[in-house]
Amino acid sequence: MRELFLIEQNNVIQYADIAVSQLQETLESSEGLFWLDVEQMTDEDAAFLLEFKEFRAHPLSVKACREAAGRPYLAEFPEQVFMIFNIQEEIGATPTRLGLFLTPDYLITVHSTPLGFLQEVKDRIQQDYLLMRSPGFAMALILQAMTDHLEPLIDQLDADITAIESNLSQLANQHDIQTIAEKKHQLANLLQILSPQCEMLHDMWTQGNLPLQPETIIQIRDVYHRLKYQVETLPLYQERLSDLSLSAATRTALQLNTSIGRLSTISAVFLPVISLAALLGINERLIGLDPPVALGLAAVLSILSGGIVAMLARRK
């Protein structure tokens, strides 16, 4: 699906689900700034990006947009800048690749699935054309929205860890241990996604050769500092999860030790009882006692021995 936002005469003209043929005609007849958003790139879209005279996208950039996974990176070409980000809409979800082609005249975004924060930027631009006074400014809005959507994810992660901490104040169980391991894995993946993107934003902010206006550079600097803070916060959650993992393992070991102690006590009580009862039952004629008397004596001795073992166990 293709969606075009064209700025003409201080107005935003939106073309929803525009065909490639109409897209080409519209762009050839217009001199305004535009943002083209492509969702689920097809072979026709790829060919258009490669061959249309306004674009002439690099083949490696188009290929990167169609790949399911890969590292984020920033590439500079003579006529455009290409960026690719990995977006995680929910904790634990498979990241979505977001490619951006930027020139002074246009912005192109490419992604395989709908992105909520991208739609929010579109809605804002439709209400105020000045938000797209330059393609770089619109790109900065997208980066801001991308960073904004991370905050509730991190808040949810904090709430999940706090809930695990509350549960561990009681008895640890296998479910808690599995949950901690799952959260550690999710957190490691999120950190692996965000760290290189934070470095990329730093490069965009500090490099002076990118086709960006000063106000756009200021926006990117602010986005970088916000993302950097989020990245620096994640190791703190890793420490909390490591402490929880150690605590859960310790509690599990104590529970196991307690269970073994109880089994040992039961064994210590009943094994002598069974052994003594068996001995007296077998040898009642040798000691000259009638069977009822022998069994009664065995029962009394069994109770006494069991009581002694139980008292010793309680003292320990």
Residue 147, domain member (yes or no): no
Residue 242's pLDDT is: 86
DSSP, residue by residue, 209-236: TSS--HHHHHHHHHHHHHHHHHHHHHHH
Residue 156, domain member (yes or no): no
Residue 77's pLDDT is: 86
Residue 52, domain member (yes or no): yes
CATH number at residue 53: 3.30.460.20
DSSP, residue by residue, 228-284: HHHHHHHHHHHHHHHHHHHHHHHHHHHHHHHHHHHHHHHHHHHHHHHHHHHHHHHST
Q: Write out the residue range of the structural domain in which residue 310 sits.
A: 258-315
Give the span between the Cα atoms of 151 and 153, in whole angstroms. 5
Residue 92's pLDDT is: 82
Residue 237, domain member (yes or no): no
Give the count of domains, the chain.
2
Domain boundary among 126, 148, 181: 126
Residue 295's pLDDT is: 56
Residue 134, domain member (yes or no): no
Domain boundary among 65, 93, 126: 126
pLDDT along the chain (316 residues), means of 10: 90 91 89 92 92 85 89 87 91 90 92 93 92 91 94 89 76 74 89 93 84 87 94 91 78 66 62 59 53 59 62 57
Residue 169, domain member (yes or no): no
Whether pTM > 0.85 for this model: the answer is no
Residue 141, domain member (yes or no): no
Among 66, 22, 14, CA closest to 40: 66
Residue 229's pLDDT is: 94
Residue in the block written with tokens 């993107």? 197
Tokens, residue 4:
């075009």
Cβ-in-10-Å burial (0-12, 13-18, 19+) of 280 comes to buried
C-alpha 307 chain-centroid distance: 57
